[in-house]
Structure 1
Amino acid sequence: MAGVDYDQILKHLRSGDNDQLVEEIHGSLLNGYVDQDEFATVGDLGPKLLTNQAGNQIWNQLRHELQTCRSYIFAVAFVTDAMISCLKPVFKQLADHGVQGRLLTSDYLYFNQPKAFNELLKIPGLTVRIAKVDGFHQKGYIFQHDGYQTIIIGSANLTENALMRNYEWSLQVNSLNNGDITRQVSENIEDEWRNAQPLTDQWIAQYQLVYQKNHQAAQTVAKMVKNGQPEINDERIEPNQMQKDALAQIAQLREAGKDRGLVISATGTGKTYLGAFDVRSAKPKRMLFLAHREEILRKSARSFQKVIGGSKHDYGLYTGNAHEKDAKYLFATVQTLQDDARLQEFSPTEFDYILVDEVHHAGARSYQKIMHYFKPRFYLGMTATPERNDDFSIFELFDYNVAYEIRLQQALEADMLCPFHYVGISDYQFADAKVNDEIASYQNVASHHKKEVQAIEHLTSAERVRYILQQTEYYGYSGSKLHGLIFCATVQEANQLAAELTRQHHPAKALAGADSMSVRQQVVKELESGQIEYIVTVDLFNEGIDIPCVNQVVFLRSTNSSIVYVQQLGRGLRKAKNKDYVEVLDFIGNYKNSYMIPIALTGDASYSKDSARETVEIEPTIGLSTIAFDEIAKERIYQSLRQVKLDDMRKLRTVYQNMKYRVGRVPRLLDFMTADSIDPEILANKKKNYAQFLIGEKEPVEVSDYENRLLTFLDAELLNGKRRHELILLNDLLRQTTVKEKELMQQLKEAGCLVDEATLASMRRVLDLTFYNKNAAPSRADYGGRPIVIFDHTSRTYRLNDELRDSLKNDAWFSRLWQDGIKTGLLRAKRYQADQRFTLGEKYTRKDVMRLVNNVVNTTAQNIGGYFFNEHDGVIFVTYHKAKNISRSIQYEDQFLNDHVMHYFSKGKRRLDSPDVKKFMDGKRQLALFVKKSDADDDKTFYYLGTCRYMPGSARQEQHDGKPIVSMNLELDQPVPYTRYHSLID
């Protein structure tokens, strides 16, 4: 591009309006296409390559452009029903705001299914045409913004794999409305649009006639669904990868002489086949399969025969309806076998292998009676949800031998389950506010009474059901027939709702626990065959019943348990033929517990409101599963979050008790880490330290006042693992009386840690407590008042103080807690980069930052404001959305100009020649940027977004609240990842 006069180009561009926009486009183009060093961009308009790699998901950018555009047009050859389903919530929101769009697609290679075309016709504000160009194979997306256009062109069709998973190349560029690239693309599409065929019902009907024949000829026959179910060939069924891993671990248990093991595996990941594979491997003389429902047994017996083979007479049922007790592989209901007379028909050693399905029920007296009677060589328990709300420990029953564990989110990421497309929809609001109050009262209680009949009448009224059907019809389902499952609050509501759905031409039947087995089986068959569209139930299908064809799950009830919520969600996640996804529609009313929804969907164990809000804001993907909320539903969840305290003692006590049941003793903090449970920092810092938490739980913990202060130091300062140095030294001093500095340095190098005198000196100041002020919290006295580790400068060795050393020798509880804190901190440290002071995307308090930049003392007791400088470092703290009640003097708006440039304001009463302002510009210090969204919930942590630099020439003298202030642009060395960026700015 030699010889181009950029000043002349800019002058020409500025001849129109929108000078600022012109400046940004100009800078972005020069930065992206000419020289990124010479032409720094100060707008979010630079070119980007989208690949679906490393958080660079095309789907995220496409959704963002849609949510911020004035209009849009897509030109894509291939469109899938699954991707349309993902986009429907966005398209609906756009239509509600008057944003119109166009889609140009094709019948090229007969890839697009007639159903996909039918779904496109449902979308409000979208006009669709079919290109008449031979071999139409375009893949372009154009978004009209105020004054400019964004174009994404590349290899990605409108399919879930192309936009979420495949390695693609799609280039995103921005252009002014009169830019040449805009003109070329727009003219090309407009020519094709004018010649294209409008999408109509009549066109689809004609397309349907020729589609099936041509599609089948062009496509290979689909293989049997894999991953969630085992792979099948002509000879025998083989385990998938999850099952292979689990089988190996179960075999290890038996080889170690264990007589029982527990498998925790998400619904739909093939637990039954796993059990059959292990029985095939163990080769028992006789096997007993226990479950609490006959329909589970019948299905399981068929699965076992597929895996193991042999005569059908080898497989028998022992239920209220069948007594085939001599079968080699016996499948029995607990209800039948618990009867004394029937139980004693078998000897205690009759079965050498017993498998207990849905084993979380095993705390019931009936299960206990059977399991205590029989003495097999091996017990295998299987469940998706081992946690219980009573005092019975499933883990203890299986001697704490967890053979394998995979939870819902892991299974989705591994593509073992059918993806879900979740939409949180605001529930119907009646014109009469009193009616809405009645309904809210009914839906926010765990048990219901006859006096609430009036609320049920409203919930099952024609107008509310009509609203529900409008939503279910719009959002749809995968496949050609609807197979829906609806969960509501009570049996009466289920019965009346089914009747009203049927009256409105959507055949439905209600099922409840009181219904007989034959009735249940008949209704399920009717759903599978398409005779009815919906089964309406309360909790009957939480577990055990598999209806793989279910392609739409509807929640019409509040969420009182995340465990139950996941169980019910899992009813639709089993893979099946002709099923690409399951549509999950959650009608969110004024529920006090709706805060549980984002937590349950993501499996988040952080107990952080910030994380829950982020799920609602970002609407993340899990594998190919998507999450979306409408605007009212979002606000209802936010309201619920504002009112709840996620880390209150009642909730933490439940988490603690569950872990105690799991390990069979007082849990260590390390137990919570290794089980991927709650972050141990939450428990340890709830009451100064973990010892105090345990005392609150009435555990027999006794520590002295000094020991208590030491544990407070360990849990408050080091448990987080944000720097390994102190932890590695303390761990060494558990085994050695003294540690030589050379030995420590070698160990730190082997661990990949930074090893320099400044960091070592900082470590020493922390461990001898000189880092902490005398009279400010946390003070030296809070942590015991005297050095924890003593450094001998002459011999260059470290040792513990004598009192601490004595406590470790003589106090079992203290020693256990001290070692546990160190080990947990070292394990937690794995989330942080050892060779960096800070890890991108992780959260830090101001106090953490002062320690990690090797500051001499903890200055956070002072009001350091938005930034702090020492000799080598500058750290910048930004609260992006400032509270309205703060002083007007600090209400100025720091803001991102794009994902790598922040427009930043100095402290008040500053001028361009102020000493601290000059420190931003002089280049002598490494600047580090820490940002949090707001001060909600008194959150003191900031996300580390990386190092940044002052952009030369960007500083401006300004006035704020009548006082001088300086603004400037800070450029990050690495762009902020998409999801973090939009979570902060939205």
Structure 2
Amino acid sequence: MKRTEGKVCPVCDGRWRGGLAAPRHVADWSLLGAAHQQAMLAELGRRIHSGASFTVGEIGGHLVFRIAAPDGRIAPRLVTGGQDPLFAHLVGHIDRSDHIDLAVAFALESGIALLQPYLSDLLDRGGRLRLVLGDYLDVTEPAALRRLCDLTGAAQIHVYQTAGGSFHPKAWLFRAQDGGAAIVGSSNLSRTALTDGVEWNLTVAGDGAWQPVRDAFEALLRDPQVKPLTPEWIDGYAARRRRLPLPRAARRIVEDEPPLDRPEPHEIQREALAALARSRAQGQSAGLVVLATGLGKTWLSAFDSEGFARVLFVAHREEILTQAMATFRRIRPEARFGTYSGKDKEDGEVVFASIQTLAKAQHLRRFDPEAFDYIVVDEFHHAAAGTYRRLIDHFRPRYLLGLTATPDRTDGADLLALCGDNLVFRSDLQEGIARGFLAQFRYFGVPDEIDYAQIPWRSSRFDEAALTEALATRARAQNALEQFRAHGNGPAIGFCVSRRHAEFMAGFFNAAGLRALAVHSGEGSAPRTSSLEALGRHEIDILFAVDMFNEGVDVPNIGTVLMLRPTESAILFLQQLGRGLRRSGDKVLRVIDYIGNHRVFLTKARALLAAGDGDRSLSQRLDAVADGTLDLPPGCEITYDLKAIDMLREMLRTTDAQDEAEAWYRVHVLRQGRRPTATEFARAGFDPGRTGHGGWADFLRDMGEDLPDADKLPGDLLRQLERSRFASSAHPALAAALATEGALPESGLGAAIDARLARSGHPAASTDDVAAARNFWRMTPLVRAGDGALALARPVSPPGKALIEEIVDWRLDGFAAAETAPAVAAEPAAPFIASPRLWHEYMREEIPPLFGATFSPGNWNSGIVKIAGGLVLLTTLKKGGLAQGNHYEDHFLSADRFQWQSQTSTRKDSARGRILSGQAKGTVHLFVRASKLRGTTAAPFLYLGVPRFRSWEGERPITIEWDLQAPVPAEFHKVLGVPAL
């Protein structure tokens, strides 16, 4: 960054907007290299196509071309097509314009598809579009009209109804800060006419030259034959076009145009589609699919939805909705789409809506619960929020599909529950790379010198202004440049925190001789689509982006991802990583990631290394990185600078068994920006009623939550709810009903219990269960009975009612798990996801996801767990601390042979016994650990693979000898007690 008289060069700083600047800080043309000279000349040529003039000068010692607005004296330019296609000229004008008017005789889908990304960019940056096209000879394709209706923002689309007459204009009018231009000629909106066809189009620039075109367009808009284009008009036009044969001339135009290729699902998507079909065939009405970024989860939903008439697509960001609409349009070119903004209720076959709008009660009430056959909720890792629960509780589709690229099975505990605990399919990043669908990567974790302790932390994120002030500095930009030159390769995307940060970085890299652009949603941004294309053609070296390209955007084959900002979300981090993973030959993506002195950076490391929630799990993964034993997909590498890994270790907290719950809690708050619910806490493997702090409310208060004083909460009732062994779900449901209503007539207890159970998706209670619940609470001092009614002995404050509801939700969730689980601790049906890795250590809660299952303490604290397709054995060799009767004779006979003893209730002719011996179909997976604790914290299990049954003896218990899949490596012999033979 150059300075003039103590001031930063306004050109390098990105503040100069008067034209075209040299890509680095030089004052003389001869000081630029040939590559930069050619790039500047090419861009200058594009600028002056509009008729603009330029002068050469310098600002603060920085070479610039000042662009002057054109006037009517500029000579017209003729574009003849073929080797000089109109499309390239249109793109240049669209990118510079803030207002476009267009009149054209007809449009084919191929032409609109070609222009749509550039027109969307215009509208996204606040530009305006007015378009009039005709129905002359019915050449215009309904699919083209549908695409035009998909445009959002200030787009006014009209149709000229010819009524048997003629309509032949082909004219563009561009208005921009440099004065604009007009193009009049022969090209209609088809790919052929815009690209390789021989078409003559005359470009004129300057107000005086294109004023007649503007006047003619304004007159055309006032013509009574011009009508707004609406979905209803398209429906009628499409019906007419189907009913009446096209005239020969029109038919020839349409048939000669090459059709758009219809996308087809790739292999992993086909597997997911088959799994979804099986799910529905088995009677499931909801399911979750996990696909890594880059494997096409939105495409999957579009393919899977084809058999359903009415579809709702819900996401948390407008950008995702826009991209989803474009994806669905490729699959349903003739379908009627709608977007729900809260103002007008669209009646499209496919409706797109943001969760923030749709989940509000006043909006949900506008939709019949059965309005949609198929609902897609994208990025389902946000589903723990109550907004998603309200939406899912309201609608009754034939199928609900949840999609995520980065599931978090503990923080997002409601994830599977909202999809009926049905994990339909999963293909993660490792599988995508191993199967060749995603590129290999080399990750470099480098130390960040910023002191993040000095940056305010508000609402689960850094203050943007303060963070920008810290990041947009010459010292850090210089470090980023050095890291890029040391580790980067090929075109790059750098993710920035703010518009100012992106423009600062682009200016700095340009001044250093690199070709850089800043892309964001504000004024002065480089055009998104054209910039991406230029990056793919290697015409620029790096794009600095803000809230762009994180998800759902087709990014060209970039070679480097530069992560210049902290990411508070593991989801966002993996999405940004995924932007560079498009497979291209033998490409290996380079990832340069800054590691700072704040615990939020542990989130990125935890996501990258697939570590669990606790610091212990991450510490083990970092150990594996340091000693080179971390299991990665083929061709991938993860390298941390020594200082960076030291920073991560310093932020890790050593926890004992009790503190593990506190550590998990803190990580959840950091990731989600809110505290976990009792249900989420329980699903992570902890007991909300037994935290070592007292009850759940005491734990929350000790963790810093703002709760009323203990004497203002119904402590006795909360403890009763937390610790009682209820015989049925009616017991906690009745407590919740009493807290809500205050008093209930005994004759109405059943209805009140059933209403509360229905809210949580439980069946109605039996008469016996209602009676048992009534008798249970009547016998406690917490409830008083009299005059044929039950009431709480003390009134409950609103905060107390909220806590009661939360605890009841948790207890009911436990009953749901028990009601759906078979007698032998079976897991919900789910496909085998990905084999665990031999000799790899897993915490207990990390094991269920390996088999498509969900962790719950009731199932997975057992030594043998039934899963879909077999059994999982979880064996602790040293039984200290286990209950009497649970001491089994488990030990190694040799490095390749293991003796295991079943529970005392297991018989040889039982279902489990037949699987263990191989008499019944099923695979046995063996996990072993030396003892329950490693130091003061829970120890992980070592995966020993799939053992082969050798022999057995005894009955209740059974003692089995297994031949191991492979001999135990020598480094494990001592800790596991493998005998030396």
User: Which of the five TM-score ranges fits, normalised by the shorter chain?
Assistant: 0.3 to 0.5
**TM-score normalised by structure 1 residue count:** 0.43
